[in-house]
Structure 1
Amino acid sequence: MFLLPVAYLSATADENPTKAPPKGFRQIYKEEGPAAFAKAIRNHKGLLLMDTTFRDAHQSLLATRVRTHDLLNVSPFVAHNFSNLYALENWGGATFDVALRFLHECPWERLEEMRKLIPNTLRFLHECPWERLEEMRKLIPNIPFQMLLRGANAVGYTNYPDNVVYKFCELSVQAGMDIFRVFDSLNYLPNLIVGMEAAGKAGGIVEAAISYSGDVSNPNKKKYDLKYYLNLAEELVRAGTHVLAIKDMAGLLKPRAATMLVGALRDKYPELPIHIHTHDTSGAGVASMLACAQAGADVVDVAVDSMSGLTSQPSMGAVVASLQGTPLDTAIPLNMISEYSAYWEQTRTLYAPFECTTTMKSGNADVYINEIPGGQYTNLQFQAYSLGLGDFFEDVKKAYSEANILLGDLIKVTPSSKVVGDLAQFMVQNKLSAKDVEDRAEELSFPKSVVEFLQGSIGQPHGGFPEPFRSKVLKNMPRIEGRPGMSLAPLNFDSLKQELQEQYANVSDKDVMSAALYPQVTKDFLGFREIYGPVDKLDTRIFLVGPKVGEEFEVTIEKGKTLGIKTLAMAEDLTETGEREVFFELNGTLRSVLIKDKEARKELHIHPKADKGNKSQVLHIHPKADKGNKSQVGAPMPGTVIDVRVKVGDMVEKGTPLVILSAMKMETVVQCPVAGKIKTVDINMGMKLEAEDLLITLE
């Protein structure tokens, strides 16, 4: 188990252990309101920093896998030694989904625990996204928290009824959130306004963000020029933003462009705080942030040194050292950054399987060509490996650039970046060039995200949809005009809560909110929590890889109550249901438990010499579709069947949706290649398939 940094231990050794951390900008916000907070930021002498280590840094470097356990360990140190930060970014974006889906945590609890005023005691939460937020707030009462809000998409990948977005912001403020960085993946103003109004009504600080693409310093890049950004900024200021942000999600903002853009905004809005976000993918991030500061930015985003660089944010230490002794001095001691960095350098080793550095060893300026957002880079990498494209990631990056042009040169950030990424992987997997995609658009079965984007499900892109590509793909499918969420009926929260309470115990309003955003993921989480309990109390290595035989470890389940566990042995033989008996000691008492051995069950399923007398051992080989036979429809990618739209005997037209497959959050709608009658349906719901497995036969 990791210890708190030495500086924190020495700083508190001779002091009252319950001493509150120094006051920060949060006190101004809580006592005087968002407008006073914004004024204080603008009047501050010196550059302010927002630390992204608790969210975007690990999203970009470690596929968002860092657990609340490791964030809470260092939270008291941050509260006591970094009280002059503008904010900590610790929530929103992909953290909500990943906490529920992979970490089995409640993000709400994470926030609330960090906000507790307990600077000398580590608190452990029940695993849930809201609790993650609450846990952090308990530990860091003085520094403002900032989250990433996807406008009308809240923290999801789709549109929700407006009352869901408003309720989400209300609960977030209650759990300890302060600043809402509101953006839209297409810079679509109606979607931005919904998020801004929801955050403002909840009492939060509204930081409206303009997502940056292109290059304002390059006169040949005309779609997203300086005039475009100034016009959008004017709309956001008119809508009442407290802080204006530039969200450079791919690290495309070069130093000269930064000087031009920030300088123009500062001249136009001398009283408005300006906050700049970037990624260091190219290696030019520190230079760009220093240029932003010189041009008049009030705040820039950084990550602690050992969690910075590559697809993460620029180095905190580098920015701080560069400005020491200048009028923009941050007043943050370098030795404190060193202690903070040492903790994360050690902690990061636990997450080695999720490292982006498995293929990316250094900064790469090809980001100026492919424009892949830093937060998507590692996830795109993992998706590529899961789809069998791990050796072709360079091809995926090249296809990403081509897919972007096919889709009209988009602003690329979740969820629009997912659309581009899904199309890129689809192209590589099916060996399609950009010309192939254009020429065969009417017959191809595109990823669901691509089809829905072209329908208008995430909003209207600047410059309109690409034609004739859009019409070829959609054919006679319906199109959405205007703001997608505007026509959605309000969600009935009481009905949803009743439904959840019928299946699970101890359902809170925050669980209901999670289910409104991620229905199946939340149900899976609630079921997991009922079976396994609060797994966040486990040390990270134990959680990720499990204990070794003979290993002793401790688990603190509540203050003053610690369990001593020692793994003794595992039975060699499996039970008929695929379970294995595990023997262990609990506080010195011998115990045993039956655990499903998932890996062994996989081996039984695929072993070529199945026991004919054992019905649980069945060798199943799914038939492949004949590529030359248009009456046979095959799977265009590996994945799980999540929807079957037709049945035997149905008459179908060319382009009719037949089946939806899902793999690593990429969904593909398989369309009918020709008109005809459904002869056989060769798959079932939930079936896991390989590429080219037979789905449907036609007459």
Structure 2
Amino acid sequence: ARLTRLREAVPNIMLQMLIRGANGVGYKAYPDNLTEKFVAEASEKGIDLFRIFDSLNWMKGMEGCLNFVRRQTPGLAEGSICYTGDILDPSRPKYNLNYYLTLARQLEEAGAHILCIKDMAGLLKPYAAAELIPALRETVKIPIHLHTHDTSSLQAATYLKAVEAGVNVIDVALGGLSGLTSQPNFNSVVEMLRHSPRHREFDQHSLNEFSDYFEALREQYYPFESGLLAGTAEVYAHEIPGGQYSNLRPQAAALGLLDKFEEVKQRFHDANELLGDIPKVTPSSKVVGDLSLFMVSNNLTPQDVLEKGPTLNFPESVRELLRGDIGQPEGGWPAGMQQAVLRDEKPFTERPGEHLAPIDFERAWVDFEKANPYTQFTDLLSSLLYPKVFADYWEFRKSYGDVSRIPTPVFFFGLKEGEETIIEIARGKSIIIRLQSIGPVNEEGMRTMFFTLNGQTRNLEVRDQRVAVKTVHNAKADRANPKQVAAPLQGLLSKMLVQAGQQVPKNAPLFVIEAMKMETTITAPADLTVGSLTLGEGARVQADDLVLTVA
């Protein structure tokens, strides 16, 4: 719906989207016909340009999507190379200039209309850009598009060198939304190029007005800021992508590691090295982040990970990555790390889509519509791509309706007594809601909220989540006792996979802990018989909480 509204509002401007090749818009590989159907639907709803990439720069992960866009849509297929390393650093030869030129040539041969250099962590330095862009122009005939993030506050200089070298397109952000983990400042770049051969005419007064508007709007989203107050050269050490930096902090907080965030950043670097120094873009960057959080949660060094690997319960995303579920990196996966994580499980090197059965959309739609009345085909696609996220969203939508119409501050922070808001429920039709007062809490933890709706009194009973909050302290496991199985990290005990008295073979799954998109499956350290279940599904756990005993 939002894409449709955007298309209607800006019919004369091209809209583009990112698509993660075989990973679609998710964190895993999907059946080929699901990716193809999604591309066709996105094009029909208004997308003009598909920026196609693979988080490991694996051509097999991009070829299918490139073909889908060219064959199924009137849109443009932009093939992307994820930039990592430093082409000017002789100590890091894995990602040298020839590596990028070879990929560029392959993307052009695969049918890309445009080539994008996707510098998600802002690692492309000015003099590296001055060498890379001319070399690419000599290698391919298609336009070259450069994307970066300004975490270091250096990337305007990188853009200047790229522009001087002949880059065709650069990505910028309006002044009020620019800098740090975002893109360089649009308004400033316009002035940087004024009176130069590459100047393009923009109305600076209008740009500044737009910037002021979004700067004020941004304040309403302050809880989601990255936490950076200035640019930092640390990014050249940890290489955390700009889009991930603001997510990694709340992930760390959810695991009780916010006070160790500096260590998390160091372990991000270590985790990347353990995985073979890979390009870090979603979904590969998420895996590096998951591994870094896992290492800090369990006080593990890189050497510990390799030596103790067979006894550790790694996040599921790490297992999937090293198994080959996301694709293959340059030079393959480090054998020692792969063996430590997968143990006896055999990895594969073929394209993941070759192992996945196609979706029967007719049957899937019948089943989906029956379970979810009043939905659309796009909802089915969302459900297939993000089953749990869609299920949670749909339950929320059934309970509360279309909350996207509620003004942002009211949605995030609610109304105060005596405060009112105007909600536009349709074009030209608005309602005025005023919170008159809040009643006392009753014995069931409910309060009556007294509103007026366009002047008419409305009462609503809601549960006060703050009432009678009990802090539960779970029993702690004795790590030295082999008959006690503990939670290795803080989170939600989302799945209990065994029962009391059940015989479980070594390495079989026992339970799953989930925290901020990271799932960790805890497996049996040896053949065992389950004694008692100390905690059940839905319990909040801290590291070292006792979950079950061994008979």
TM-score (normalised: structure 1) = 0.77
Deviations 1:528-579 (A, max 9, x none): 2222111111111111111111112211111232111110111112352x32
Which residue pairs with 1:211 in the alignment? 82
Q: 3-state DSSP class of the match of 1:382?
A: helix
Q: Is the counterpart of residue 595 in structure 1 residue 465 in structure 2?
A: no
Over 3 Å counting, the alpha-carbon distance change for 1:133 and 1:551 in structure 2 is same
Of the candidates 642, 645, 652, which is equivalent to residue 494 of structure 2? Answer: 642
Q: Is the 8 A contact 2:105 2:139 kept in 1?
A: no
Of the candidates 116, 130, 152, which is equivalent to residue 22 of structure 2? Answer: 152
Q: Is the counterpart of residue 631 in structure 1 residue 499 in structure 2?
A: no
How far the C-alpha of 1:651 sits from its partner, in A, is: 3.4
Q: 3-state DSSP class of the match of 1:633?
A: strand
Over 3 Å counting, the alpha-carbon distance change for 1:368 and 1:604 in structure 2 is closer
Of the candidates 525, 530, 541, which is equivalent to residue 689 of structure 1? Answer: 541
Return the alpha-carbon distance in structure 1 between the equivalents of residues 422 and 245 of structure 2: 36
Return the alpha-carbon distance in structure 1 between the equivalents of residues 489 and 210 of structure 2: 44
Which residue pairs with 1:614 in the alignment? none
Return the alpha-carbon distance in structure 2 between the equivalents of residues 156 and 403 of structure 1: 22
Q: Is the 8 A contact 1:630 1:674 kept in 2?
A: no
Q: Is the counterpart of residue 199 in structure 1 residue 69 in structure 2?
A: yes
Q: 3-state DSSP class of the match of 1:246?
A: strand
Return the alpha-carbon distance in structure 2 between the equivalents of residues 683 and 481 of structure 1: 39
Q: In structure 1, what residue type is equivalent to 2:344?
A: N
Identify unmatched segments of 5+ residues in structure 2. Answer: none
Which residue pairs with 1:479 in the alignment? 347
Of the candidates 254, 261, 268, which is equivalent to residue 125 of structure 2? Answer: 254
Deviations 1:154-197 (A, max 9, x none): 11111111111001011101111010000011111111112212
Return the alpha-carbon distance in structure 2 between the equivalents of residues 562 and 390 of structure 1: 42
Which residue pairs with 1:677 in the alignment? 529
Which residue pairs with 1:505 in the alignment? 373
Return the alpha-carbon distance in structure 2 between the equivalents of residues 368 and 489 of structure 1: 41
Return the alpha-carbon distance in structure 1 between the equivalents of residues 79 and 119 of structure 2: 13
How far the C-alpha of 1:212 sits from its partner, in A, is: 0.6
How far the C-alpha of 1:221 sits from its partner, in A, is: 1.1
How far the C-alpha of 1:431 sits from its partner, in A, is: 1.2
Which residue pairs with 1:536 in the alignment? 404
Q: 3-state DSSP class of the match of 1:514?
A: helix
How far the C-alpha of 1:621 sits from its partner, in A, is: 4.2
Of the candidates 138, 144, 149, which is equivalent to residue 267 of structure 1? Answer: 138
Which residue pairs with 1:561 in the alignment? 429
Q: In structure 1, what residue type is equivalent to 2:89?
A: N
Q: 3-state DSSP class of the match of 1:441?
A: helix
Q: Is the counterpart of residue 137 in structure 1 residue 4 in structure 2?
A: no
Return the alpha-carbon distance in structure 2 between the equivalents of residues 256 and 275 of structure 1: 17
Q: Is the counterpart of residue 353 in structure 1 residue 220 in structure 2?
A: no
Deviations 1:32-71 (A, max 9, x none): xxxxxxxxxxxxxxxxxxxxxxxxxxxxxxxxxxxxxxxx
Q: In structure 2, what residue type is equivalent to 1:257?
A: A
Aligned 1:117-136 pairs, distance under 5 A: 131-136=1-6
Return the alpha-carbon distance in structure 1 between the equivalents of residues 474 and 288 of structure 2: 31
Q: In structure 2, what residue type is equivalent to 1:229?
A: Y
Deviations 1:423-480 (A, max 9, x none): 1111111111111112211111111111111111101111111121211221112322
Q: In structure 1, what residue type is equivalent to 2:525?
A: P
Q: Is the 8 A contact 1:373 1:417 kept in 2?
A: yes
Of the candidates 442, 445, 453, which is equivalent to residue 586 of structure 1? Answer: 453
Q: 3-state DSSP class of the match of 1:306?
A: helix
Q: Which moved more, 1:641-650 or 1:212-221?
A: 641-650
Q: Which moved more, 1:131-140 or 1:472-481?
A: 472-481
Relative contact order, CA 8 A, sep 6+: which one is greater? 1
Over 3 Å counting, the alpha-carbon distance change for 1:536 and 1:392 in structure 2 is same
Q: 3-state DSSP class of the match of 2:95?
A: coil
The CA RMSD over aligned residues, in Å, is 1.4
Q: Is the counterpart of residue 311 in structure 1 residue 181 in structure 2?
A: yes
Q: Is the 8 A contact 1:279 1:310 kept in 2?
A: yes
Of the candidates 496, 516, 526, which is equivalent to residue 384 of structure 2? Answer: 516
Q: Is the counterpart of residue 372 in structure 1 residue 224 in structure 2?
A: no
Q: Is the 8 A contact 1:497 1:507 kept in 2?
A: no
Which residue pairs with 1:652 in the alignment? 504
Of the candidates 231, 237, 243, which is equivalent to residue 114 of structure 2? Answer: 243
Q: Is the counterpart of residue 401 in structure 1 residue 261 in structure 2?
A: no
Which residue pairs with 1:328 in the alignment? 198
How far the C-alpha of 1:305 sits from its partner, in A, is: 0.9
Aligned 1:446-457 pairs, distance under 5 A: 446-457=314-325
Q: 3-state DSSP class of the match of 1:369?
A: helix
Q: Is the counterpart of residue 467 in structure 1 residue 319 in structure 2?
A: no
Identical aligned residues as a percent: 43
Return the alpha-carbon distance in structure 1 between the equivalents of residues 116 and 14 of structure 2: 16
Q: 3-state DSSP class of the match of 1:557?
A: strand
Which residue pairs with 1:170 in the alignment? 40
Return the alpha-carbon distance in structure 1 between the equivalents of residues 218 and 345 of structure 2: 47
Deviations 1:612-670 (A, max 9, x none): xxxxxxxx543221111122110011112233333333433443322111100011121
Q: In structure 2, what residue type is equivalent to 1:652?
A: V
Number of aligned residues: 550
Which residue pairs with 1:435 in the alignment? 303
Aligned 1:486-497 pairs, distance under 5 A: 486-497=354-365
Q: Which moved more, 1:670-679 or 1:517-526?
A: 670-679
Q: Is the counterpart of residue 232 in structure 1 residue 103 in structure 2?
A: yes
How far the C-alpha of 1:503 sits from its partner, in A, is: 3.2
Return the alpha-carbon distance in structure 2 between the equivalents of residues 573 and 268 of structure 1: 71
How far the C-alpha of 1:347 sits from its partner, in A, is: 0.5
Which residue pairs with 2:165 in the alignment? 295
Return the alpha-carbon distance in structure 2 between the equivalents of residues 644 and 466 of structure 1: 32
Return the alpha-carbon distance in structure 1 between the equivalents of residues 408 and 48 of structure 2: 29
Deviations 1:110-165 (A, max 9, x none): xxxxxxxxxxxxxxxxxxxxx11111111001110110101011111111111110
Q: 4+ residue runs of structure 1 moved beyond 6 angstroms? A: none
Deviations 1:79-115 (A, max 9, x none): xxxxxxxxxxxxxxxxxxxxxxxxxxxxxxxxxxxxx
Q: 3-state DSSP class of the match of 1:486?
A: helix
Q: In structure 2, what residue type is equivalent to 1:418?
A: K
Which residue pairs with 1:117 in the alignment? none
Return the alpha-carbon distance in structure 1 between the equivalents of residues 132 and 469 of structure 2: 60
Over 3 Å counting, the alpha-carbon distance change for 1:184 and 1:539 in structure 2 is same
Return the alpha-carbon distance in structure 1 between the equivalents of residues 424 and 341 of structure 2: 55
How far the C-alpha of 1:201 sits from its partner, in A, is: 2.3
Of the candidates 81, 91, 101, which is equivalent to residue 220 of structure 1? Answer: 91
How far the C-alpha of 1:673 sits from its partner, in A, is: 2.4
Which residue pairs with 2:208 in the alignment? 338
Q: Which moved more, 1:178-187 or 1:335-344?
A: 335-344
Q: Is the 8 A contact 2:23 2:30 kept in 1?
A: yes
Q: Is the 8 A contact 2:237 2:269 kept in 1?
A: yes
Q: 3-state DSSP class of the match of 1:468?
A: helix
TM-score (normalised: structure 2) = 0.97
How far the C-alpha of 1:681 sits from its partner, in A, is: 3.0
Return the alpha-carbon distance in structure 1 between the equivalents of residues 215 and 7 of structure 2: 24
Q: 3-state DSSP class of the match of 2:460?
A: strand
Return the alpha-carbon distance in structure 2 between the equivalents of residues 656 and 527 of structure 1: 33
How far the C-alpha of 1:216 sits from its partner, in A, is: 0.6
Q: In structure 2, what residue type is equivalent to 1:524?
A: D
Q: Is the 8 A contact 1:504 1:527 kept in 2?
A: no
Q: 3-state DSSP class of the match of 1:356?
A: coil
Q: Is the counterpart of residue 547 in structure 1 residue 411 in structure 2?
A: no
Q: In structure 2, what residue type is equivalent to 1:690?
A: Q
